[in-house]
Structure 1
Amino acid sequence: MAESDQTSGNSSNFSVTKKTPILGLRLYTLILLTIAALIIVFAVIFCYLRSSRRRRAQLRYSSGLLPLVNKEITESKQEDHVKDVEVVNFEKTSAPNLSGEKKGSFASNESSSSRAESVSVAAAEGVNIGWGRWYSLKELETATFGFSVENVIGEGGYGVVYKGVFSDGSVVAVKNLMNNKGQAEREFKVEVEAIGKVRHKNLVGLIGYCAEGSQRLLVYEYVDNGNLEQWLHGDVGPVSPLSWEIRMKIAIGTAKGLAYLHEGLEPKVVHRDVKSSNILLDRKWNPKVSDFGLAKLLGSEISHVTTRVMGTFGYVSPDYASTGMLNEGSDVYSFGVLLMEIITGRNPIDYSRAPGEMNLVDWFKVMVASRRGEELVDSLIEVHPPPRALKRALLVCLRCIDLDPLKRPKMGQVVHMLEAEDYPFRSEPRSARETAPIRPPEADAKKGP
């Protein structure tokens, strides 16, 4: 019996190790090569399908159709209070330039490394330098109770935000940036460069930061009433706490913050990710624009920059999505979508709704063209707005989302339009085009001869 088993084993071994007619390779070698080839083929097919699906989704989005991929476009997502700045006549201030180079550019590797050295020294000493304070990692760990889960107040592709309480009782928000392929370092530089010294009551104040080893953390003022997305789309009961007056207050404050970024700074700052979850609210419903990790600096002599398309589906302007050409008009479009969201209480993209209502922008245009503007108002608003106020807000929405970026208003003009009681009802004579009903640009195109 034993001899039979041994003979069988030898036969099996021989069959696997014997040479085959194919290049004289042994059978087991041929099997391994075949398996490796199949794995490579499957990997190539998978990568092709994934790339093809992403291209199709981008093409459909740029043509105005619904996105086919998840909510985020980004591949790797990246105050001492002063009096409010008048929108009509801004006093130009200089955006911070930590690198010491030409405005709008980041530091060279050499200056970055030297700055990192000074960061660690300053953090160790716990001193204030320039506009903000260098915090040590130990300080922030203590303030957030070791970055505990109980202290988490927000999270996303950028990292996690914790509530922090220092020994003197002061409360802050600590953003711990994810160190994903250098994304943390890039976002850290962007936020510090863009808004380090910026102070405006409608922008979240950056108090300081920490840079130790690979850790990058930003310390902000703490805004204690959540964000706009939670109040618009969360479970708030049968009547929303956000009345029409409060919603317009939030819209106007957000517009003022963006107007300051675009028109009150040199170089100007394009936020690039204006959306409801990035609008923080205090207890008096004052809005504060937050999350500048995707922001771009744009000098006055530059009309636009060409960059990788980043942002959030539903808010990104079609012209930027299709060309990658970014300027402040991209923020204006996003604000227009945000204002629609504020008025209707609907998400920009909602797959749970009927096909004609999934895309907020398309549905909004159809409703206005059909003279059904009153039906656009969020049903959770107990007291509906006066017709004049509603018409004014609807007109602002349509002007902000104009498909021609050159026809979109500046954010300063948006503030004026939202605040002016007589807009668009003026006493002076108007042209026939101005007196026509509010209609989206596509409505006229659909009319026959």
Structure 2
Amino acid sequence: MHRIGGMSTCWETKKDKKVNKETAFIKNGSKLLEKLVDICDGKCNSIRSFSATELKKATNNYDPQKILTGDSGYKLYKGFLQGRPVSVKKFKDDDEQYEYCFNDIVYASKMSVHKSFMKLLGCCLEARIPILVFEYVGDWTLSDFLWGSEEARCQPLLWIPRSKIAMDMANAVAFLHAAFSKPIVFRNIKPLNILLDDNHEAKLSDFSISISIPKGESHVRDSVAGATGLIAPEYLTTGNFNEKQDVFNFGVFLLVLLSGQMVVDFSRPEKEILLQDHVKKCIEDDRFNKVIDSTIIAEGTWPGKEQQLQAYTALSLRCISELAEDRPTMIDVSKELRKIYWSAISCRQQ
């Protein structure tokens, strides 16, 4: 704010903008270092620095037409840097998203070695809340293919591509649980956070609410975070959870992928509003086909397909067991889904 002859104006000088950018850069750099020490013991892959000006230009001033996906706290834009497509993630301007943003930077920077995570290229620390730059995967999310635009849904997801997406996402989550001294709980596995390329290769994104289990501990305690229907009973009631929260979340995700239905749907009977309750009721009433997306049914049958669908559903239900100890590990889930996928491939080729 400036005063001219007793009148206030809201414009900023170039000098003011430069000072604001420098202040944000110093504050955000300090916060990033703090997070790196906390989560990664100060070690991570290199993170490239981008300027606010080049990201604004890359996205045509964050043109709404360039939005790829978004959630309550962010929007992901398609942009171009040096002639190459990228994905630019801009968070909502509030204190909660400030914390989530740094989570996303630090955890994503650790995942570049794994093919099933969207790769972080760098970030801009000049904005009040840093802006993230990821690789460009494609124009659509899994959510788009299931429920989105006509253009996306005209490319139907058949059983084999769906089983591969399930296998790849299970591998990714198992990696989070097993590859680090402090296991990472993702807490947000849903179609909106999975981007697909033209060959339906899937990449998981958005570490905003991910958390590490401290060394020497079996659980972590935190306020309840995540979408309705994806939160395990023990986490919901006690605030304590571990990797089995992700297993529960993944079980629900598997049912979404199989059925093509929303996790929460108020058009279903009252006791079946949650997808897991709807699936259990259909199976109990011997209406298994009502669980399966019509696209999967319409592609026809072949030897072994029914058994694959049954095994997949049984695995999903084990994942959402009421007791955490009754759920499999994500490594076991990954192994079972690999068997189902390769069975589908070999049977289809006969």
8 Å contact from structure 1 (residues 104, 299) kept in 2:
no
Specify the code of the residue in structure 1 equivalent to 2:145. W
- CA separation in 2, counterparts of 1:393 and 1:319? 24
Residue 194 (structure 2) pairs with residue 279 (structure 1) = yes
Residue 85 (structure 2) pairs with residue 191 (structure 1) = no
Aligned to 1:224: 138
Aligned to 2:125: 211
Aligned to 1:144: 59
Residue 73 (structure 2) pairs with residue 158 (structure 1) = yes
Aligned to 1:288: 203
- Offset at residue 341 of structure 1 (A): 0.7
- Offset at residue 213 of structure 1 (A): 4.8
Q: 1:291 to 1:100 in 2, by over 3 A?
A: closer
Aligned to 1:369: 284
Residue 57 (structure 2) pairs with residue 135 (structure 1) = no
- Offset at residue 330 of structure 1 (A): 0.8
Segments of 5+ residues of structure 1 without an aligned counterpart are 1-96, 108-128, 425-449
Residue 334 (structure 2) pairs with residue 415 (structure 1) = yes
- Offset at residue 369 of structure 1 (A): 3.0
- Offset at residue 286 of structure 1 (A): 1.1
- Offset at residue 133 of structure 1 (A): 0.6
- Offset at residue 354 of structure 1 (A): 2.9
For residue 266 of structure 1, give the secondary structure of its aligned residue in structure 2: coil
Residue 238 (structure 2) pairs with residue 303 (structure 1) = no
Specify the code of the residue in structure 2 equivalent to 1:220. F
Residue 306 of structure 2 is aligned with which of 387, 390, 393?
Answer: 387
Specify the code of the residue in structure 2 equivalent to 1:221. E
For residue 389 of structure 1, give the secondary structure of its aligned residue in structure 2: helix
8 Å contact from structure 1 (residues 163, 172) kept in 2:
yes
- Offset at residue 299 of structure 1 (A): 3.4
- Stretch of structure 1 that moved more, 253-262 or 195-204: 195-204
Residue 39 (structure 2) pairs with residue 104 (structure 1) = yes
- CA separation in 2, counterparts of 1:213 and 1:405? 41
Residue 250 of structure 1 is aligned with which of 165, 176, 179?
Answer: 165
**Deviations 1:4-42, CA, capped at 9 Å, x for gaps:** xxxxxxxxxxxxxxxxxxxxxxxxxxxxxxxxxxxxxxx
**Deviations 1:419-438, CA, capped at 9 Å, x for gaps:** 225999xxxxxxxxxxxxxx
- CA separation in 1, counterparts of 2:292 and 2:267? 19
8 Å contact from structure 1 (residues 227, 276) kept in 2:
yes
For residue 190 of structure 1, give the secondary structure of its aligned residue in structure 2: helix
**Deviations 1:263-317, CA, capped at 9 Å, x for gaps:** 1223221111111111111111111111111110123522111111010012121
8 Å contact from structure 1 (residues 164, 174) kept in 2:
yes
Q: 1:340 to 1:406 in 2, by over 3 A?
A: same
- CA separation in 1, counterparts of 2:154 and 2:120? 34
- CA separation in 1, counterparts of 2:192 and 2:340? 29
- Stretch of structure 1 that moved more, 241-250 or 208-217: 208-217
Specify the code of the residue in structure 2 equivalent to 1:413. D
1:68-79 to structure 2, matched below 5 A, reads: none
Residue 403 of structure 1 is aligned with which of 316, 322, 328?
Answer: 322
Aligned to 1:175: 89
Aligned to 2:13: none
- CA separation in 2, counterparts of 1:347 and 1:298? 30
Residue 293 (structure 2) pairs with residue 378 (structure 1) = yes
Segments of 5+ residues of structure 2 without an aligned counterpart are 1-31, 344-350
TM-score (norm 2): 0.80
8 Å contact from structure 2 (residues 258, 293) kept in 1:
yes
- CA separation in 1, counterparts of 2:126 and 2:329? 40
**Deviations 1:118-153, CA, capped at 9 Å, x for gaps:** xxxxxxxxxxx9512100111111111122222222
For residue 122 of structure 2, give the secondary structure of its aligned residue in structure 1: strand
Specify the code of the residue in structure 2 equivalent to 1:389. Q
* Aligned-residue CA RMSD (Å): 2.6
For residue 403 of structure 1, give the secondary structure of its aligned residue in structure 2: coil
Higher percent of residues as helix: 2
For residue 193 of structure 1, give the secondary structure of its aligned residue in structure 2: helix
8 Å contact from structure 1 (residues 227, 281) kept in 2:
yes
Residue 318 of structure 1 is aligned with which of 228, 233, 244?
Answer: 233
TM-score (norm 1): 0.63
Identity of aligned residues (%): 30
- CA separation in 2, counterparts of 1:380 and 1:373? 15
Residue 265 of structure 2 is aligned with which of 341, 350, 354?
Answer: 350
- CA separation in 1, counterparts of 2:111 and 2:246? 18
- CA separation in 2, counterparts of 1:144 and 1:101? 28
Structure number with larger C-alpha Rg: 1
